[in-house]
Amino acid sequence: MSLDALASRIRRELAMIAHPSLAWLEPRRAPDGSNALDVLIAGAGQGGIATAFALKRQRVDNVLVVDRAAYGREGPWVTYARMPTLRSPKEYTGPDLDIPALTYQAWHEAKYGAAHWQSLGLIAPADWNEYLLFVRAVTDVPVRNEAELVELAPEAGLIRATLASAAGRETVYARKVVLATGQDGTGRWWMPDFVAALPRAFRAHTADSIDFTGLKGKVIAVLGAGASAFDNAATALEAGAAEVHVFCRRPAPQVIQPYRQITFRGFLKHLSDLDDAWRWRFMRHVLALREGFPQATWDRCAAHANFTLHTGAPWTAARVEGARAVVVTPRGDFVADFLICCTGIAMDYAAKPELARFAGNIRNWADAYAPPADERDHRLAAFPYLAADYSFMEKQAGATPWIKDIHLFAIAATMSFGPSGSSINAMTTAVPKLVDGITRGLFAGDVERHWAALKAYDVPQAIVPGSRAD
Ligand SMILES: Cc1cc2nc3c(=O)[nH]c(=O)nc-3n(C[C@H](O)[C@H](O)[C@H](O)COP(=O)(O)OP(=O)(O)OC[C@H]3O[C@@H](n4cnc5c(N)ncnc54)[C@H](O)[C@@H]3O)c2cc1C
C-alpha cells in the first residue's frame, strides 16, 4: 500500500468512526470582533499534533496549532536528538491514538514495505519526524509554523495570546490554551553556573546547535550520564574528536529504564487518580532514578578507543586557562577544548515569556504536598501541581483565576500524571484524558446555551396527519 493509499484509508476509517458528528461549539466573539479559537495549542511536536487531532475527533473544530520552529523542524528529532534511532521500542504507539491505520507501523510498511518493518530494529529519528508530519497532514491539523507564543493574558473571559513572527506581533483570542511546548516548556535548559560563565566558545548544552565538525581533533568533556550525554559523546567521536570523556556524578551510570516498568495501561491511565502521597512516591522514584540508556547507546561510544567514562566525578568548578577549559572534579582537574553539558532542565516559569504574567502564582508540588523526610526532593517539588484537566492551579486563589484555561501538556506534567506530556508511550492514554478535560470545560462553559437550545428544539421526526405539534 502506498502512502497515498494509506492516507485514503485513514480518512475513510476516521469518517466511519466520526459519530457523534454534530457540531456543538459556537464561536465566541472576541473583543476585537474576531471569532475566538476554541483552543490554541502552542507546540506542533507530537504532543500538540495528537492533541489537536483528538480535539477534532471531539468536534472541537476551531483549533489552531502554532510552532516557533520552521516546518519539519518541530521537536528534537532532526535538530538536537543526536542518535541513530529512537530509544523506545518500535511497537510503542502514540500519535495514532489507537487508530491502527495511523500507527507508525502502518506508515513504515506503506513507505518501506512489511518485510522492512519486520527486520527493523528501532525507528530512525528522521522517519519518526516524517511520520509526525504525515499524521498532521492526514488528520488536517491546522498549523502555523514560525509563530511563537510570547504572552498570555486574560481579556473578556477569554485568553488573549500574543504571537510573534517575522510579520510582527499579532493577537489571537482563545477559550482555552494548551502548552505542548516540550521538554523546556516550563523552564530552561540548565548547566552549572560555573560552566555557563565560560565564554560560549568553550561550552554548549546538548539542546544547543553544536558544530561537531569543528570538534575534530579536539578533547571533549561531557557532563551527565543520561542517554543524551552518550549520544553527544558518540557524535563527537564519529566527527573525529581526539578524545571524548563523559563525567558522571554517580558511582555507576544509570542503566535501568524505570519507564519500562510503568508502561502498562493501569499505571498510565490511573496514577493521576491516586492521592498525592502515592503519586509523589511513584514519580519521585522514577524521576530520581532518571532515564537509563539502552545498550546500543553505550556500544556506540565504547566502539571508540578514545572514549572514557569517569564515574563518581562531578564537576565542581571550571575555568579557562590559555585556549583551553579546565574542569575541577574530586578526582582532579581535567583539561579539555570543549565542554558539553547534558544536565537537563531547571524549572523556571518566569524564564518563559508565555508564562511570565502568572509565573509567580503557579501552584507547584511544594505548595500542595509535604512528603516524608526520606522522600523529599527539592527539584521535583518545583514541578507544577496540575488540576485533573492538566490546567495550572493557583498558588493564591483569585489572583489569576484565568489560568484554569491554560493546560500544560509538557514534560512538567509528569509529577501530576506520570508519563503524559512529552512521552510517546503515554500518548494513547494521556491525550484522551487531556482532551476530556478540555471538552468538559468547554461544555460546562456553554451549559446555558445548551439548555436554551434543547428547550427551543422543535424539529419533528415525523408528520402525523391530524395531530397537534403541541
Ligand atoms: C534528545 C531527545 C531524544 C528523545 N528520544 C526519545 C525516544 O527515543 N523515545 C521516546 O519515547 N521519547 C524520546 N524523547 C522524549 C519525547 O518523546 C520528546 O521530547 C518529544 O519531542 C516530546 O514531544 P512534545 O510534543 O511534548 O515536545 P516537542 O517535540 O519538543 O515539541 C514542542 C514544540 O513546541 C514548540 N514551542 C515551544 N515553545 C513554543 C512557543 N512559546 N511558541 C510556539 N512554539 C513553541 C517547539 O518549537 C517544539 O516544536 C526524547 C527527547 C529528547 C529531548
What pLDDT does 468 receive? 64
The whole-angstrom separation of Cα 419 and Cα 408 is 13
- List, in order of start, the domains of the chain with CATH numbers: 3-186+346-450 (3.50.50.60), 191-255+292-343 (3.50.50.60)
Q: Please state the atom number of ligand 1 nearest to the C-alpha of residue 147.
A: 43
Parallel, antiparallel, or unpaired for β 307-310 and 203-205?
A: unpaired
Per-residue model confidence as pLDDT tens digits over 90-146 = 999 999 999 999 999 999 999 999 999 999 999 999 999 999 999 999 999 999 999
The whole-angstrom separation of Cα 220 and Cα 243 is 6
Nearest CA to ligand 1 atom 31: 45
The whole-angstrom separation of Cα 144 and Cα 179 is 15
- Whether 418 shows a pLDDT value over 60: the answer reads yes
Distance between Cα 183 and ligand 1 center (Å): 6
Nearest CA to ligand 1 atom 9: 88
Rounded to two decimals, the pTM is 0.96
* Nearest in space to 229 (alpha carbons), one of 249, 213, 214, 215: 249
Mean pLDDT confidence for 378-392? 97
* Distances in whole angstroms, Cα of residue 140 to Cα of each of 6, 39, 43, 173: 15, 15, 16, 21
Per-residue model confidence as pLDDT tens digits over 19-67 = 999 999 999 999 999 999 999 999 999 999 999 999 999 999 999 999 9
Ligand 1 pocket, mutate which of 40, 46, 163 (most atoms under 8 A from CB): 46
Per-residue model confidence as pLDDT tens digits over 153-204 = 999 999 999 999 999 999 999 999 999 999 999 999 999 999 999 999 999 9
Per-residue model confidence as pLDDT tens digits over 204-242 = 999 999 999 999 999 999 999 889 999 999 999 999 999
Q: What residue ranges line ligand 1, CB within 6 angstroms?
A: 42-48, 66-69, 74-76, 80-81, 86-88, 148-149, 180-183, 228, 354, 410, 421-422, 424-425
Q: What is the mean pLDDT of the chain?
A: 96
Q: What is the DSSP string of 107-163?
A: HHHHHH-HHHHHH--S--HHHHHHHHHHHHHHTT--EEES-EEEEEEEETTEEEEEE
Collapsing DSSP to helix, strand or coil, 65 comes out as strand
Collapsing DSSP to helix, strand or coil, 336 comes out as strand
Per-residue model confidence as pLDDT tens digits over 278-291 = 999 999 999 988 77
- Whether 397 shows a pLDDT value over 80: the answer reads yes
Nearest CA to ligand 1 atom 19: 422
* Nearest in space to 436 (alpha carbons), one of 60, 34, 161: 60
